[in-house]
């Protein structure tokens, strides 16, 4: 029997996240997802009168493609999927899988080739700016293990987090948007971190269930050459199948001039050398989902952690919240500033707006966990 929570999530996606109508052409892109769940999402899309196309993929098969990747192969895949994406007005990604390290042994140069020739043209330059899109992971035994939870407990957590009160979150986020739009100088302070940059004229985008599920962030972007100082992230970041710990960047005039991550420092720098834009930042965002409190090595969850921010090397989004930086890389790395993670402060134009993970000015207190939760 289909879990009724799947139906609730499918309806949320169609009505709130991407607001489907009869004019839409939707690609449902599923990796290792139970067939009944994919079928329920397809049913929800059809119920809105939208045309639907389905692409089913396997993480194991994708790993093999990446292992034997050649220019000819990635050119073939990118050209066919780019043509498909250009037909779509909306995109739903359902990403499952039990092994988050499936691609850990794929050569770095193959991943860089994939990002340059597929990720950049198909995802960053076509899907992201030109479709209504929503991306989510699907609960699995592997995700439960990442979160150090039993599978039933994780499933309860998953649906609670994903089907949050997004309209309430949107309303609470309005004062933050107004403040970020008016801010010039930002300073981030915490253990091992003292970083300053400008967001003047960049604008920001509140994210309350429209593009990512789960959601709960407001993103902007540093003026490209304005970033100076040091940032020391305190969460494990999983990227291209590898875990990176104790990531530390030294930044001068916007560019990451020193990068270390313990035993994976060499691989970290290989990724940052993918192209020139990978050593500049393409996003800075504040997280405030009240139900996501601890990292679980999954970016879609970790970047929404209440009391966190993420500062992203690589490609910037177009339009509000972007600075024009271009790269095949877009790597959201999270730093949590709640007391149990070492605390920290965020300053806007010399005014303290968040301390130890809690907003401290009256107009933003509605985004604190006790109000949103």
pLDDT tens profile 37-53: 999 999 999 999 999 99
* Mean pLDDT to the nearest integer, 274-279: 96
pLDDT above 90 for 223 = yes
Q: Which two tokens mark 74?
A: 């990635």
Please name every residue paired with 251 in a beta bridge, in sequence order, or none if there are none: 229, 256
Nearest in space to 180 (alpha carbons), one of 348, 44, 68, 345: 348
How would residue 2 be classed by pLDDT, with cut points 50, 70 and 90? confident
pLDDT above 90 for 104 = no
Pick the CATH number of 4-162 from 3.90.1300.10, 3.20.20.70, 3.40.50.11260, 3.40.1830.10: 3.40.1830.10
CB neighbour list of residue 368: distance below 8 Å, 6 or more residues apart: 288, 290, 306, 358, 359
What pLDDT, in 10s, does the model give residues 291-301? 999 998 889 89
Neighbour tally for 228: CB within 10 Å: 16
Q: Which two tokens mark 99?
A: 């092994």
Q: What per-residue confidence (pLDDT) applies to 117?
A: 97
Residue ranges per domain, the chain? 4-162, 166-372
DSSP-assigned letters across all residues of 39-86? HHHHHHHHHTT-EEEEEEE-HHHHHHHHHT--HHHHHHHHHHHHHHHH
* Mean pLDDT to the nearest integer, 257-263: 97
CA-angle at 121, arms to 120 and 127, nearest 5°: 95
CB neighbour list of residue 298: distance below 8 Å, 6 or more residues apart: 100, 137, 143, 146, 238
**8 A C-beta contact, residue 183 and residue 199:** yes
Q: What per-residue confidence (pLDDT) applies to 142?
A: 85
């Amino acid at each position: 029997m289909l879990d009724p929570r799947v139906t609730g999530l499918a309806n949320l996606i169609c009505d709130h996240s991407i607001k489907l109508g009869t004019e839409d052409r939707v690609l449902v892109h599923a990796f290792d997802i139970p067939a009944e769940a994919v079928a329920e999402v397809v049913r929800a899309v059809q119920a809105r009168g939208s045309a639907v196309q389905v692409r089913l993929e396997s993480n194991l098969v994708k790993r093999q493609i990446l292992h034997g990747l050649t220019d000819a192969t990635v050119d073939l895949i990118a050209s066919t999927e780019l043509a498909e994406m250009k037909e779509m007005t909306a995109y739903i990604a359902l990403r499952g899988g039990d092994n988050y390290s499936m691609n850990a042994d794929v050569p770095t140069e193959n991943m860089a080739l994939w990002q340059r020739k597929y990720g950049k043209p198909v995802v960053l330059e076509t899907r992201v700016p030109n479709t209504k899109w929503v991306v989510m992971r699907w609960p699995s035994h592997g995700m439960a293990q990442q979160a150090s939870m039993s599978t039933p407990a994780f499933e309860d957590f998953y649906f609670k987090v994903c089907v949050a009160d997004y309209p309430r979150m949107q309303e609470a986020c309005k004062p933050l948007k107004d403040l970020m739009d008016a801010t010039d100088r930002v300073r981030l302070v915490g253990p091992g971190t003292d970083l300053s940059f400008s967001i003047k004229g960049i604008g920001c985008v509140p994210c309350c269930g429209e593009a990512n599920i789960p959601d709960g962030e407001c993103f902007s972007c540093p003026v490209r050459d304005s970033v100076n100082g040091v940032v020391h992230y305190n969460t494990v970041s999983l990227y291209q199948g590898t875990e990176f710990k104790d990531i530390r960047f030294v930044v001068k005039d916007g560019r990451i001039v020193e990068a270390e991550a313990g035993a994976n420092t060499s691989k970290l720098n290989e990724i940052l050398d993918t192209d020139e834009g990978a050593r500049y930042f393409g996003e800075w965002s504040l997280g405030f989902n009240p139900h996501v409190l601890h990292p679980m090595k999954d970016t879609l969850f970790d970047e929404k952690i209440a009391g966190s921010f993420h500062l992203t090397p690589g490609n910037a989004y177009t339009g509000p919240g972007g600075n024009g930086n271009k790269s095949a890389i877009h790597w959201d790395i999270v730093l949590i500033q709640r007391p149990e993670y070492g605390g920290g402060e965020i300053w806007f134009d010399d005014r303290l707006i968040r301390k130890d993970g809690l907003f401290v000015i009256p107009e933003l207190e509605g985004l604190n966990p006790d109000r949103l939760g």
